[in-house]
Structure 1
Amino acid sequence: MIARRAALGLLALPGLARAQGRPIRLIIPFTAGGSNDIVGRILAEGMSARLGQPIVIENRGGAGGILGNDIVAKAAPDGTTILLAGSGSFVISSLVHPRVPYDVANGFAPIGLLGAAPNVIAVHPSVPAGNLAELGAFARGKNPPLTFGTPGAGTTAHALGAMIALTLGFELDAIHYRGTAPALTDVVAGRVQMITNAAAPFLPFLSAGTLRAIAIAGRQRASILPELRTSFEQGFPQIDSATWYGLLAPAGTPVEATARLHAAMNATLADPVVRSRLIENGVELETSPTPADFGRFVASERERWAVIVQRANLRAD
């Protein structure tokens, strides 16, 4: 019923041109196969059906999300180019890189929040650690330092790695990739020892025993991995991080266009089938009532992460 009402609301928006036949580009600022890609494709499928327009996925990985963000910032503000933004790829990346080629605060128009996925801390099975305390004990005595794969400098995973190292008191050698999938490949192969990410891409490797999860980085267990203890339960409440997802458009996109996209997004997320698919992939759903609400959320996240980045002295290489 909620989805039907929202879909009907799309038709009632006054003066809104549908631009039939023109596909919408959804820029995902990471390579295919990672959690951002999984979430973006599920969302795009549902929104396309409700908008009556194809949504074409473009994976533009690099620089922790900055390359993809820049494409959207410089696109025509007509509602046909949108960005799957995240806590790392949009917020943290702009804090750890000394300069970004767009205006983070004013270069984008908010559309809406999708939700967040708790981050899982995992290691290659050769690492003798089944929990955070054991990880700290192992890593503190390791020379050279423990290696840590990230989806890119400035991602949530990069910041979370620094948070873990600071809390547990060891050095970490961060190795940056162009997305989760290549980083995960090297961890599973044993070339890198540790990784953090939303749970979805980890699941087949956890089941196969080629990857070991040691904690959820937060206060609540994840429904997708109900037996995995949290960092709070293990006595390390300082380790607290989730990856959130939302949609942005270029600054100057007409209000009617962002409202239409916001309505299609929320109608999609109200669909029980879509909700089930996202929950199965580790996403805890939370929508924003209006695009402006999402804009305020992004601004508050930037303030929160700025403190963490400064305390960790986190900088892109």
Structure 2
Amino acid sequence: MQRRTALTLIPALSAMLGHQALAQGEAFPDRPMRMVIPFAAGGSNDIVGRVIAEGMGARLGQTIVIENRGGAGGILGTEVVARAPKDGYTFLLGGSGSFLISSLVQPRVPYDIIRDFAPIGFIGAAPNVITVNPGVPVHSMAELRDLAKRADPPISYASPGVGTTGHLLGALISLTFGAEMDHVPYRGTGPALTDVLAGRVQILTNAAAPLRPHIASGGLRALAVAAPRRLAILPDVPSTVEAGFPEIISSTWYGLLAPAGTPTRRVTALHAALNATLADPTVQNRLTEEGVEIEPSAAPQDFGRLIEEDRQRWQQVVTRTHIRAE
């Protein structure tokens, strides 16, 4: 069975299993639910979370209330869910940065991302795009590598902050190139983007959605998508695999998690509602506009394995580069 065909069958199968899991008389959910998003309202995490909450709420027959709990690189909101009742009524919109990377670089994390959470399901990933200010005399990853190797002083890359996905991707690029590069952290994507557009910093990596208008206008030059294949919304930009740098893979991914100990039947019901939502063409269109490539997980355990594999990969980068948030 081809992968695309398999993915189209997953939502239907999950929905069937979810109904079976609750067929023994359990009324769940029978009251409003809560999705915690560990960021302030308005960003890409908030947009993705609200789209998913609306769709899941319609399928579960209950309102899903959004609670934005930003701060400490995602730790504050994530801790809320780790300490919540284990009843399936509170769950987290987890991400590669706020959930996984923050657990690797923050000096004090009051939970264990494996032990204290029950994966519900994967939503998808927004591959990161590697861009430069057009004044930088490079048009490919190979040319960027050659420039980085001979630059004195080192070329610089901007990120939304220490320990973010953008920070670690820049560090991974530096390691892969075997060249020193200066990290310039900012308080968010907005100010980082402003300085790269102005030419004060040379490189910026981020999800495609906030960068696409500037790529289209010529304010940024896209060198590659840090993914195995090209993005549908940037069809002319090669992947890093095409460019000869298969080690450079990075995306901002999203998924749902409940507190560890949540009853399996309730996790299964949430997983089924999530996958049914992801099969909705309207939801697919809205997430595609955010640069998210939808990839539902066949079972909650599959999402759990993805988390463990991604943690091991980024742990190597953190260890080799001694990245630590202060």
User: What TM-score, normalized to structure 1?
Assistant: 0.86
State the partner residue of 1:30: 39
Q: How far has the Cα of 1:313 moved from its partner? A: 3.4
State the partner residue of 1:114: 123
Q: How far has the Cα of 1:74 moved from its partner? A: 2.3
State the partner residue of 1:93: 102
**1:64 and 1:151 in contact (8 A); partners too:** no
**2:85 and 2:259 in contact (8 A); partners too:** yes
Q: Secondary structure at the match of 1:114?
A: strand
Q: How far has the Cα of 1:9 moved from its partner? A: 6.4
Q: Do residues 17 (structure 1) and 62 (structure 2) align?
A: no
Equivalent positions of 1:20-99 (< 5 A) are 20=31, 22-27=32-37, 29-99=38-108
Q: CA distance change for structure 1 residues 237 and 49 in 2, over 3 Å: closer, same or farther?
A: same
Once residues 186 and 16 of structure 1 are traced to their aligned partners in structure 2, the CA distance between those partners, rounded to angstroms, is: 53
Q: Secondary structure at the match of 2:163?
A: coil
Q: How far has the Cα of 1:131 moved from its partner? A: 2.1
Once residues 140 and 42 of structure 2 are traced to their aligned partners in structure 1, the CA distance between those partners, rounded to angstroms, is: 27
Q: CA distance change for structure 1 residues 62 and 127 in 2, over 3 Å: closer, same or farther?
A: farther
Once residues 94 and 87 of structure 1 are traced to their aligned partners in structure 2, the CA distance between those partners, rounded to angstroms, is: 10
State the partner residue of 1:173: 182
Superimposed CA distance per residue, residues 262-316 of structure 1 (whole angstroms, 9 cap, x where no aligned partner)? 1110000111221232233322222122223322332232223323332333333
Q: CA RMSD in A?
A: 2.8
* Aligned partner (choices 285, 303, 306) of residue 312 of structure 2: 303
Unaligned runs of 5+ in 2: 1-7
AA of the residue aligned to 1:26: V
Q: How far has the Cα of 1:204 moved from its partner? A: 2.0
Unaligned runs of 5+ in 1: none
Q: CA distance change for structure 1 residues 300 and 133 in 2, over 3 Å: closer, same or farther?
A: closer
State the partner residue of 1:265: 274
Q: CA distance change for structure 1 residues 56 and 209 in 2, over 3 Å: closer, same or farther?
A: farther
Once residues 211 and 278 of structure 1 are traced to their aligned partners in structure 2, the CA distance between those partners, rounded to angstroms, is: 23
Superimposed CA distance per residue, residues 21-56 of structure 1 (whole angstroms, 9 cap, x where no aligned partner)? x342331x3344443333223222211222233333
* Aligned partner (choices 132, 136, 139) of residue 130 of structure 1: 139
Identity %: 57
Once residues 197 and 60 of structure 2 are traced to their aligned partners in structure 1, the CA distance between those partners, rounded to angstroms, is: 39
State the partner residue of 2:246: 237
Q: How far has the Cα of 1:150 moved from its partner? A: 2.4
Once residues 93 and 158 of structure 2 are traced to their aligned partners in structure 1, the CA distance between those partners, rounded to angstroms, is: 22
Q: How far has the Cα of 1:199 moved from its partner? A: 0.9
Once residues 112 and 231 of structure 2 are traced to their aligned partners in structure 1, the CA distance between those partners, rounded to angstroms, is: 35
Q: How far has the Cα of 1:143 moved from its partner? A: 5.2
**1:89 and 1:154 in contact (8 A); partners too:** no
Greater mean deviation of Cα atoms: 181-190 or 1-10: 1-10
Superimposed CA distance per residue, residues 69-114 of structure 1 (whole angstroms, 9 cap, x where no aligned partner)? 2222223333232211122322222222343111222111111011
AA of the residue aligned to 2:34: I
Superimposed CA distance per residue, residues 213-252 of structure 1 (whole angstroms, 9 cap, x where no aligned partner)? 1111133111111100122222222212223211111223
Q: CA distance change for structure 1 residues 5 and 304 in 2, over 3 Å: closer, same or farther?
A: closer
Greater mean deviation of Cα atoms: 132-141 or 257-266: 132-141
Once residues 180 and 41 of structure 2 are traced to their aligned partners in structure 1, the CA distance between those partners, rounded to angstroms, is: 30
Equivalent positions of 1:149-168 (< 5 A) are 149-168=158-177
Aligned residues: 315
Q: CA distance change for structure 1 residues 43 and 189 in 2, over 3 Å: closer, same or farther?
A: farther
**2:127 and 2:225 in contact (8 A); partners too:** yes
**2:120 and 2:255 in contact (8 A); partners too:** yes
AA of the residue aligned to 1:208: S
Once residues 203 and 105 of structure 2 are traced to their aligned partners in structure 1, the CA distance between those partners, rounded to angstroms, is: 21
Once residues 50 and 197 of structure 2 are traced to their aligned partners in structure 1, the CA distance between those partners, rounded to angstroms, is: 24
